[in-house]
C-alpha cells in the first residue's frame, strides 16, 4: 500500500490520541536508514525514541529472533518457564551497578518496569510515598503519569492521578535551578509533603529524557544516595532511555559511581523487541510474595532471545566505545553550531545522548523554531526529534552504529536548515 492509502486507513481506524502525525509509513529499515511505503529514504536520528542503539534489524538480533520462533513463542513464564528468562536475568544482574547481589524481574515496557519498581519499593519498605522530579518522564500508565514531571500531553485528559507522588526540582542551571537549590527544595518537600518515614523511594532519570537531555551532576546523585540512606528510602534510577550504551557506559548512573537500590531499563535492551526489566538488590526484589510480580507476556521467549543477542553485540562490536566516539563527534559539531548560530544554545552530551536548545532573539526558548527545524528536516529525509520542558530542545538518538557518511549527511541537513531558519551569527550581529 502507498503512504496515501495508509493515511486514509489511519484517519478512519486509529484513535486520534494514538495516531502519529507523520504521513510516511515505514516499509523496511537497515541500521540508520528507513524506507517508506513509497520508496523514500530517511536517515534516522530518532532510533524509535532511543530503542535502536545498535541500529535497525541488526543481523545477529534478527537471527536470534528467527531461531527462537522455531522453538517456543510463548508459554507465560509463570506457567512454564524457559531458559531465556533466567539467562537474561543472570546477565542483567551481572552488569547492573545496584548495591549488593542483584535479582531481576522482566516486563514489557518502560512504564511497566516503573510501575513494578514502585510496587517492589513499597513492599520492601512498608511505605507509600514516592518522590520524583520536574521534567522526569516515566511512562503513560496511571502511576507513571502521576510520576511524570510534565502534564501535557501525557495526563491532560485523564482525570485524577494516583496519590502519594511528590515532586522536587531537577537541577538544571541553564533554567535557573542550581544543584544547591534542587537539594534545598527536595528537603523542603520532605518537610511539607512527603515525610521520609512514609516515603518508599526517590525515583529519577540520571539523564532527563523527554525533559531535555540534562545530566544530573554526580555530586547531586551522591547527595540523593546519602539522603536515601539517612532516611531508609530506596534510590531508584530510571535508565529506560539513558541505558544500554547511550551515554558511553552501559548505564548512565555508572558515570557517577553511585549504586542505586533499583534500576529500570527497556528501549534498546532488545533492539526493537518489547521487553523491560527491574533490577534491584536481592532483599528488596524478594520483598513481595510469590506470584506478586509478572504478567502474561512479561519476558517473552522471543524478546529474551533478542536481549541476549544485543548483549553479545555490545561485547563483540565494542558498542560503548563507539557511543563515546559518536558523542565526541556530536559535541564538536554542536560547538561549531553554537558559534555559527545565535539561536543554538546549551549544547550538551553524555556520550551519544546529545542535544542543544534553540532560543529566540530575546534569549527565550523557541519551541516553534524547534518544531520548524524538525519539520524541514523530515521533508528533506531526516527524522529528527525535539523535547524538553519548553519544547525547544533538539535531541539526537541516531544508532550508535551509524555509518560515518550517513551521520555527516544527516548533520548537513540540520546545518542547512539552521542557516535557512535562523541565519548565521555573523549575519545577525
Judge whether residue 366 has pLDDT over 80: yes
Split at pLDDT 50, 70, 90, the class of 160 is confident
* Predicted pLDDT at 426: 44
* C-alpha span between 40 and 37 (Å, rounded): 7
All structural domains of the chain: 1-43 (no CATH), 62-316 (3.40.640.10), 318-375+386-429 (3.90.1150.10)
Q: CA angle, corner 68, sides to 63 and 74, nearest 5?
A: 145
For the chain, the maximum distance between any two Cα atoms, rounded to a whole number of angstroms, is 69
* Predicted pLDDT at 206: 98
Whole-model pTM above 0.85?
Answer: yes
Split at pLDDT 50, 70, 90, the class of 290 is very high
Residue pLDDT, tens place only, 367-392 = 999 999 999 999 999 999 999 999 99
How much is the mean pLDDT over the chain?
A: 96
Judge whether residue 29 has pLDDT over 70: yes
Residue pLDDT, tens place only, 1-24 = 999 999 999 999 999 999 999 999
* Predicted pLDDT at 424: 61
Residue with cell 513481595: 288
Judge whether residue 267 has pLDDT over 60: yes
- Are 120 and 201 in contact by the 8 Å Cβ rule? The answer is no
- Are 68 and 301 in contact by the 8 Å Cβ rule? The answer is yes
* Predicted pLDDT at 425: 53
Burial class (CB in 10 A: 0-12, 13-18, 19+), 16: exposed
End-to-end CA distance of the chain: 50
Residue pLDDT, tens place only, 55-108 = 999 999 999 999 999 999 999 999 999 999 999 999 999 999 999 999 999 999
* Predicted pLDDT at 79: 96
Q: Report the percent of the chain where pLDDT is more than 90.
A: 94
Query: How many CA within 13 A on the CB side of residue 362?
Result: 3
* C-alpha span between 207 and 227 (Å, rounded): 19
- Which residue did the predictor score with more confidence, 174 or 106? 106
Judge whether residue 152 has pLDDT over 80: no
Amino acid at each position: 500500500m502507498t503512504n496515501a492509502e495508509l493515511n486514509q486507513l489511519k484517519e478512519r481506524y486509529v484513535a486520534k490520541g494514538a495516531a502519529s502525525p507523520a504521513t510516511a509509513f515505514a516499509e523496511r529499515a537497515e541500521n540508520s536508514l528507513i524506507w517508506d511505503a513509497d520508496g523514500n529514504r530517511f536517515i534516522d536520528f530518532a532510533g524509535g525514541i532511543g530503542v535502536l542503539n545498535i541500529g535497525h534489524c541488526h543481523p545477529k538480533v534478527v537471527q536470534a529472533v528467527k531461531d527462537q520462533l522455531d522453538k517456543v513463542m510463548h508459554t507465560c513464564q509463570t506457567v512454564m518457564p524457559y531458559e531465556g528468562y533466567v539467562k537474561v536475568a543472570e546477565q542483567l544482574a551481572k552488569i547492573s551497578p545496584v548495591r549488593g547481589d542483584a535479582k531481576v524481574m522482566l516486563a514489557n515496557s518502560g512504564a511497566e518496569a516503573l510501575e513494578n519498581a514502585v510496587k517492589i519499593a513499597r513492599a520492601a519498605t512498608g511505605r507509600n510515598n514516592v518522590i520524583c522530579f520536574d521534567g522526569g518522564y516515566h511512562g503513560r500508565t496511571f502511576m507513571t503519569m502521576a510520576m511524570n514531571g510534565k502534564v501535557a500531553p501525557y495526563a491532560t485528559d485523564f482525570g485524577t492521578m494516583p496519590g502519594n507522588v511528590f515532586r522536587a526540582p531537577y537541577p538544571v542551571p541553564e533554567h535557573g535551578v542550581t544543584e544547591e537549590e534542587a537539594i534545598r527544595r527536595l528537603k523542603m518537600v520532605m518537610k511539607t509533603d512527603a515525610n521520609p518515614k512514609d516515603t518508599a523511594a526517590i525515583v529519577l532519570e540520571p539523564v532527563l529524557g523527554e525533559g531535555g537531555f540534562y545530566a544530573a551532576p554526580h555530586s547531586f546523585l551522591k547527595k540523593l544516595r546519602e539522603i536515601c540512606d539517612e532516611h531508609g528510602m530506596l534510590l531508584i534510577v530510571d535508565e529506560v532511555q539513558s541505558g544500554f550504551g547511550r551515554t558511553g557506559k552501559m548505564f548512565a548512573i555508572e558515570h557517577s559511581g553511585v549504586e542505586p537500590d533499583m534500576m529500570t531499563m527497556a528501549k534498546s535492551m532488545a533492539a526493537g523487541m518489547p521487553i523491560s526489566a527491574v533490577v534491584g538488590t536481592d532483599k528488596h526484589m524478594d520483598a513481595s510474595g510469590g506470584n506478586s510480580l509478572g504478567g502474561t507476556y512479561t519476558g517473552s521467549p522471543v524478546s529474551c532471545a533478542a536481549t541476549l543477542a544485543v548483549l553479545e553485540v555490545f561485547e563483540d562490536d565494542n558498542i560503548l566505545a563507539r557511543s563515546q566516539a559518536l558523542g565526541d563527534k556530536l559535541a564538536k559539531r554542536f560547538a561549531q553550531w553554537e558559534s555559527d548560530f545565535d539561536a543554538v544554545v546549551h549544547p550538551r552530551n553524555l556520550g551519544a545522548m546529545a542535544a542543544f536548545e534553540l532560543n529566540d532573539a530575546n534569549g527565550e526558548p523557541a519551541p516553534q523554531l524547534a518544531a520548524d527545524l524538525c519539520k524541514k528536516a523530515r521533508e528533506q529525509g531526516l527524522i529528527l526529534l525535539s523535547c524538553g520542558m519548553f519544547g525547544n530542545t533538539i535531541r539526537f538518538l541516531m544508532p550508535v552504529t551509524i555509518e560515518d557518511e550517513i551521520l555527516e549527511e544527516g548533520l548537513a541537513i540540520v546545518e542547512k536548515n539552521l542557516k535557512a531558519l535562523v541565519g548565521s551569527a555573523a549575519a545577525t550581529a
